[in-house]
């Protein structure tokens, strides 16, 4: 079984999602819940086992059909991909737990759609081939289209139309980029591309650069990088709470793809094309931070505020990519895990607050008192402290590591003010929002139902990461540092990723 462990985080949700579409599982919501939670738990266990295996034995290469790279379909489980597969599995389980309180009844096929999206995201993290990255992108996007409009409604339909239209344009651009790169390099295997890009003749370098920068645009759209970020706020605010929580990992798929392509293929070993995207990423990172921060201040409700905080986290991660060193990548990976889990928790908390405030929902207006002010207040406080980067929670550690990764005066001049000012604005926005939601009330009377055990379990699963990542800060930072070294030191891994040698 251990030799097939790499494919299990893809295979389990795929088979589980398909089985949920068939009788007798599809005829009962209770059976669907039990089956989906079982599959999600098994996926999480397989993700933990795969991470431990890659940590103990190094990079795991899984070849489908016996076709050795660079010709066949290959899955690559290294420290980076397994960390993100584990993160996705946790999010998937939390989303399903939350939905079991009743959100899954709003429309059909919620549970199989969540499992299929988890399968697509895990596949995107594990693939060793850019074409299969495109395939898994399409799988996760198709599932996300249906999840976004799950339950129906005017806002969801409108947001869904914009979301689908933009991603179809992005998919078309992705195919153009793949055609350009395959025409110049003769391969789409990531490891094989990294060996060929430095040897490109000068006449073909311009084409390869165009393909690489086109991929930056595509991944920037997926990651909500400015000026391609305008779809995110409306989309995430319109989605149901468990879907928005799962969508918190979607932008990170784009960030991960930028890490892979512009560190492995167009990184230090790319010759004349080395770090070709860096002049673009620096200003876009800072502008994305600015756009997210302004959006956070202008947000009329907690859901939109959280969506803008996702944009802030994307800008922060782009800063770690722009710094282009192992320490910055390690800090970025730590911050990626933290920000994804905390933002997902905030989406769920916003929904719980909205349910207990009546017609005012989670808008920053005077309204009646929430039914459980202590429980929801503590949840909001922990999430707000963590996402703003205030000690002793994980956001503080992540941002300190990023500040330390700026290694010269020029980098400090760009990175430090942007990260610190965005943190200050986040504190102001969350303080204003929290004060309005919990202290400014028109009445102490409420008839709202208390949060269910499903709700509390889902939020607790996500929020526990904020203190846990600090308590386990030593092992966590050691792991992300090793993952960053593995990502940057491409030549040392080639004998594993290309068993037959570069083609």
Q: Spell out the residues 6+ positions from residue 108 whose beta carbon is closer than 8 angstroms to its own.
A: none
Estimate to the nearest angstrom the gap between the alpha carbon of 46 and the chain centroid. Answer: 19
For the chain, the C-alpha Rg in angstroms (whole number) is 22
Query: Would you tell me how many other CB atoms lie within 10 Å of the CB of residue 489?
Result: 13
- 500 vs 228, higher pLDDT: 228
Average pLDDT, the chain: 89
3-state SS of 141-173 is HHHHHHHHCCCCCHHHHHHHHHHHHHHHHHHHH
Task: Check whether 489 has a pLDDT greater than 70.
Answer: yes
For residue 3, pLDDT over 80 is answered with no
| pLDDT tens sequence across 403-437 | 999 888 888 888 899 999 999 999 999 999 989 88
Q: Write down the pLDDT at residue 202.
A: 85
Read off the pLDDT band of 450 (50, 70, 90): confident
Q: Does the structure show a pLDDT above 70 at 98? A: yes
Contact 166, 234 (CB under 8 A): no
Residue 434's CB is within 10 A of a number of other CB atoms, namely 18
Residues in the chain: 503
Q: Is the pLDDT of residue 113 over 90?
A: yes
Q: Do the domain assignments include residue 165?
A: no
* Statement: residue 501 has pLDDT above 80: no
Give burial (CB, 10 Å; 0-12/13-18/19+) of 152: exposed
Range of the domain at 424: 277-489
496, pLDDT greater than 80:
no
Over residues 195-212, the pLDDT tens digits come to: 888 888 888 889 999 999
Q: DSSP strand E in 122-267: where? A: none
What token pair was written down for 420? 């610190």
Q: Which two tokens stand for residue 495?
A: 């004998």
Residue 299 has pLDDT above 50, yes or no: yes
How far is it between the farthest Cα atoms of the chain? 74
Number of Cβ within a 10 Å radius of residue 435: 11
Residue 337 belongs to a domain:
yes
Reported as a single tens digit per residue, the pLDDT across 44-86 is 999 999 999 999 888 888 888 777 777 778 899 999 999 999 9
Identify whether 143 is part of a domain: no
Asked whether residue 447 carries a pLDDT value surpassing 80, the answer given is no
H/E stretch holding 368 reads strand 367-368
Q: Would you say residue 61 lies in a domain?
A: no
- Relative to beta strand 441-443, strand 367-368 is parallel
Q: How far apart are alpha carbons 220 and 218 in whole angstroms?
A: 5
Alpha-carbon distances of 388 from 178, 198, 228, 464, rounded to whole Å: 38, 41, 24, 16
DSSP letter assigned to residue 240: -
**Number of domains composing the chain:** 1
Of the pLDDT bands very low, low, confident and very high (cuts 50, 70, 90), residue 503 is: very low
CA distance 42 to 39: 5
Q: Cβ atoms within 10 A of the Cβ of 102, count?
A: 12
- Tokens encoding 192: 């094989």
* Any domain includes 107: no
In a domain, 456, yes or no: yes
pLDDT-derived band at 502 (thresholds 50, 70, 90) equals very low
Pair 337, 395: CB distance under 8 Å: no
156 inside domain: no
The tens digit of pLDDT for each residue in 341-399 reads 999 999 999 999 988 887 888 888 888 888 888 999 999 999 999 999 888 888 899 99
**Percent of the chain clearing pLDDT 70 (strictly above):** 97
Give 340's pLDDT tier (boundaries 50, 70, 90): very high
Q: What pLDDT does 91 receive? A: 95
- For residue 185, being part of any structural domain is answered with no
Question: Residue 495 pLDDT more than 80?
Answer: no
Contact 140, 124 (CB under 8 A): yes
- Which of the four pLDDT bands, split at 50, 70 and 90, describes residue 500? low
């Amino acid at each position: 079984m251990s030799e097939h462990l790499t494919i299990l985080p893809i295979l389990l949700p795929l088979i589980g999602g398909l089985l949920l579409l068939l009788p007798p599982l599809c005829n009962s919501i209770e059976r669907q819940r039990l089956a989906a939670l079982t599959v999600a738990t098994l996926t999480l266990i397989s993700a933990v086992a795969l991470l431990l295996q890659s940590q103990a034995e190094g990079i795991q290469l899984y070849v489908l059909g016996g076709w050795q790279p660079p010709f066949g379909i290959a899955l690559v489980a290294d420290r980076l991909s397994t960390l993100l597969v584990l993160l996705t599995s946790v999010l998937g389980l939390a989303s399903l737990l939350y939905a079991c309180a009743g959100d899954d009844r709003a429309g059909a096929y919620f549970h199989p759609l969540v499992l299929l999206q988890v399968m697509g995201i895990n596949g995107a993290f594990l693939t060793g081939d850019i074409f299969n990255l495109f395939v898994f992108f399409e799988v996760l996007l198709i599932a996300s289209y249906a999840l976004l409009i799950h339950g129906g409604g005017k806002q969801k339909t409108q947001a869904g139309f914009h979301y689908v239209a933009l991603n179809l344009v992005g998919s078309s651009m992705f195919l153009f980029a793949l055609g350009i790169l395959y025409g110049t390099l003769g391969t789409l295997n990531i490891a094989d591309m990294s060996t060929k890009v430095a040897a490109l003749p000068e006449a073909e370098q311009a084409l390869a650069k165009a393909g690489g920068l086109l991929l930056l645009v595509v991944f920037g759209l997926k990651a909500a990088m400015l000026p391609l970020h305008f779809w995110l706020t409306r989309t995430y605010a319109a989605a149901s709470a468990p879907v928005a929580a799962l969508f918190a990992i979607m932008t990170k798929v784009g960030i991960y793809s930028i890490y892979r392509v512009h560190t492995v293929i167009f990184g230090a070993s790319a010759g004349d094309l080395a770090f070709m995207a860096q002049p673009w990423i620096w200003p876009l990172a800072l502008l994305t931070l600015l756009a997210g921060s302004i959006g956070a201040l202008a947000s009329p409700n907690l859901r939109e505020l959280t969506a803008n905080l996702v944009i802030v986290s994307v800008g922060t991660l782009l800063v770690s990519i722009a710094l282009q060193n192992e320490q910055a990548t390690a800090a970025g990976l730590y911050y990626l895990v933290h920000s994804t889990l905390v933002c997902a928790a905030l989406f769920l908390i916003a929904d719980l607050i909205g349910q207990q405030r009546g017609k005012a929902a989670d808008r920053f207006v005077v309204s009646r008192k929430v039914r459980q002010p202590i429980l929801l207040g503590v949840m909001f406080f922990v999430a707000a402290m963590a996402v703003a980067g205030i000690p002793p929670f994980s956001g503080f550690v992540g941002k300190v590591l990023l500040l330390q990764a700026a290694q010269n005066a020029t980098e400090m001049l760009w990175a430090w003010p942007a990260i610190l000012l965005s943190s200050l604005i986040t504190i102001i926005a969350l303080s204003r929002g929290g004060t309005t939601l919990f202290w400014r009330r028109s009445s102490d009377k409420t008839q709202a139902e208390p949060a269910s055990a499903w709700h509390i379990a889902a939020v607790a699963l996500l929020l526990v990461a904020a203190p846990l990542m600090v308590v386990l800060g030593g092992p966590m930072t050691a792991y992300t540092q090793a993952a960053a070294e593995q990502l940057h030191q491409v030549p040392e891994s080639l004998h594993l990723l290309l068993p037959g040698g570069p083609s």
